[in-house]
A = this chain, B = another copy of it.
Amino acid sequence: MSSRWGEQFCISIFGESHGASIGVVIDGLPSGIPLDLAEISQFMQRRAPGRNKTSTARQESDLPQIQSGFHNGVTTGTPLCAVIANSDTHSSDYAPFSAIARPGHADYTGAVRYGGHQDVRGGGHFSGRLTAPLCFAGAVAKQLLKQKGILVGAHIAQIAGVSDLAFDPVSLDADTLLCAGQRDFPVLDVQAGETMREKIEAARMAQDSVGGVVECAAIGLPAGIGSPMFGGLENRIASIVFGIPAVKGLEFGAGFAVAQRYGSENNDAFCLQNGQIRTATNHAGGILGGISNGMPVVFRAAFKPTPSISQEQHTVDFRAMQETSIAIHGRHDPCVVGRAVPVVEAAAAIAIADACIEIFGLQNW
């Protein structure tokens, strides 16, 4: 099994980059949730390529066609399926690579896993394009969560060593949470964003690519969501976020920095604020024992630089079993981090929705 996720908010993603279509079935949705299709479309637009020169020139309509589970403006509660047709596909761009493993790609591992039967055109099921249906499902999850006053947002935290401002994990408000998502280049600090873009453009000119970090947060989540051990918010978020291509690291709250701290520094003191239990700091990222504590949930995911670069690289032809080299042409982002921002939001929203349905059930929305 590979492309199913969820115990309550269950998604089943299908499709290959150059097949007939890609899409997702969502099973386990509460009924009667209004869906704003324009908002879904806008959200998905944030992931779509071709918006500016930092991303691939491939044009995708990426308009999801809802097949089921949505009627009279609300979810029906039965499975909701959305399909996105593949139209602008140039398989010839990829054709010669089918047996020469592109470094950093799943060409070789996919060939072993599927006995050479996988559809390799455009990366097939491994393509970043498969994040489009994930975004669709995430857009639905976001609208579900909004019913409970829960908001999810993200921004580029870093690209090529240039850092954006960070979310304030204690006092993060909705405006800050959502502002990056309203920008073409999703950062909090527009000036830092300009520097990032220059780094990306420089990488492109050098036939190279760069990586980065996305920071994501959820606010409005009440205390008590999640479970200890394997049903925790961290487990759920992690198991879906690592499904986003190129993610190689994930940290919650203070993350890896906790390793160098004393307990007295790292513990978040509880306090009362307007009669509400809060913590003075939020190194825990809003999660204790896998369960939300009412503070913002904050995490960061590290993305590797796009493996597709047009420089010549040493590799192997795994059919001929010979060493060779490859230069990858075609349409590729020199940096996927900007487009990954809504994908991370989507993954987080799905994970949190899953945990919320466990507690609230299907009837209490």
Q: How many copies does the complex hold?
A: 4
How does the 8 Å CB contact mask read for A327-343 relative to B, with 1 for contact and 0 for none?
00000001000000000
How does the 8 Å CB contact mask read for A1-25 relative to B, with 1 for contact and 0 for none?
1111101101011111001111101
Q: Which residues from chain B contact A179 at a C-beta distance below 8 Å?
A: none
Once bound together, how far apart are the Cα atoms of A311 and B265, in whole Å?
11
Once bound together, how far apart are the Cα atoms of A241 and B27, in whole Å?
20
Asked whether A68 and B238 contact (CB < 8 A) given A270-B315, A358-B361, the answer is no
The residue among A25, A104, A248 with the most chain B CB atoms within 10 A of its own CB is A248
Asked whether A271 and B323 contact (CB < 8 A) given A213-B259, A259-B158, the answer is yes
Once bound together, how far apart are the Cα atoms of A67 and B125, in whole Å?
12
Q: Which residues from chain B contact A250 at a C-beta distance below 8 Å?
A: 238, 249-251
Once bound together, how far apart are the Cα atoms of A110 and B277, in whole Å?
14
Considering the complex, give the chain B residue whose CB is closest to the CB of A112: B224
Asked whether A2 and B81 contact (CB < 8 A) given A238-B235, A275-B321, the answer is no
Q: Which residues from chain B contact A323 at a C-beta distance below 8 Å?
A: 270-272
A316 CB → nearest B CB, Å: 4
A125→B78 contact, CB < 8 A: yes
Once bound together, how far apart are the Cα atoms of A302 and B108, in whole Å?
31
The residue among A228, A258, A291, A315 with the most chain B CB atoms within 10 A of its own CB is A228
